[in-house]
Amino acid sequence: MLIIILFSSLPVIAIFIWFRIAKYKFSLTWFFLALLAGAAAFFPALFLQKILLFPEFTQGRAALIFEFFIRIAFTEELSRLLILFLFIWICNLILKLNKKTDSSANNDLLLYKGTAAGLIAGLGFFILESIRFTAASMDINIALLRIFTAALHGACGSRIGAAAVLFPNKPIQAVYKIIAATAMHGIYNFMVTIPGLPSVIACLIALSALAVSMININSDWKEISLDKNGVNQ
């Protein structure tokens, strides 16, 4: 079990090291709270998936779409959204209490925080999910193969984190990110069930989506740093 937990934690350890090397603005407390938020989202998702389990509805194309896109993908992204919305609200409250930071800087920093927190939360969700699936079979090979699923959860989580920030003022953009995360999640779920090339393509899509999320976080942080130094003002 310790080996399973270690393998499941490798992606978040890698992200933590990246954050440190890049010198992004975050505290250890904030990082682990975001990780805990993602782990907490696992439980409402599990509850919703049990509610939406219909044993008699298991055949046909509609059943596959429902299973991969609604029962699995949508419930997980919805759970992440609810938990991250609360997390971002707390972050926003803290930023508003900072009298030295103007509103535009608050918005930029909050979007960066939301995207980054979503990425971390996605990996927190992945850890519990990976432990659940791997412990059931006690097969370490499953833990290794699920590294690609970690990339998916991180990529989807970053988009959900950004949506949680955008929802109050830019609901259309927020809904777009939620749909994008759910669609990407559902497509991945569907393709990995097909052996051969589709599974490889699904893994590459997950890695590419994670790379885009990391680039966006880096770009947002550079923009915040430039504004703070007065370059863009």
Q: Measured in Å, how far apart are the chain's first and last C-alpha atoms?
A: 53
At residue 39, does pLDDT exceed 60?
A: yes
At residue 233, does pLDDT exceed 50?
A: no
Q: Report d(CA 100, CA 95) in Å as an integer.
A: 9
* pLDDT digit string, tens, across residues 170-213: 999 999 999 999 999 999 999 988 888 888 899 899 999 999 99
In terms of C-beta density within 10 A (0-12 exposed, 13-18 middle, 19 or more buried), how is residue 29 classed? exposed
Please report, as a single letter, which amino acid is at residue 22.
Answer: A
CA atoms within 13 A on the CB side of 82: 13
SS3 labels along 79-98: HHHHHHHHHHHHHHHHHHCC
Query: Which distant-in-sequence residues (6+ apart) come within 8 Å of 106 by Cβ?
Result: 92, 95, 96, 98
At residue 146, does pLDDT exceed 80?
A: no
| Closest to 30 (Cα-Cα) out of 95, 105, 127, 106 | 95
At residue 130, does pLDDT exceed 80?
A: yes
CB 186 within 8 Å of CB 68: yes
At residue 155, does pLDDT exceed 90?
A: yes
* pLDDT for position 35: 95
SS3 labels along 15-70: HHHHHHHHCCCCCHHHHHHHHHHHHHHHHHHHHHHHHCCCCCCCCCHHHHHHHHHH
* pLDDT for position 195: 81
At residue 160, does pLDDT exceed 60?
A: yes
* pLDDT digit string, tens, across residues 103-118: 555 677 788 889 999 9
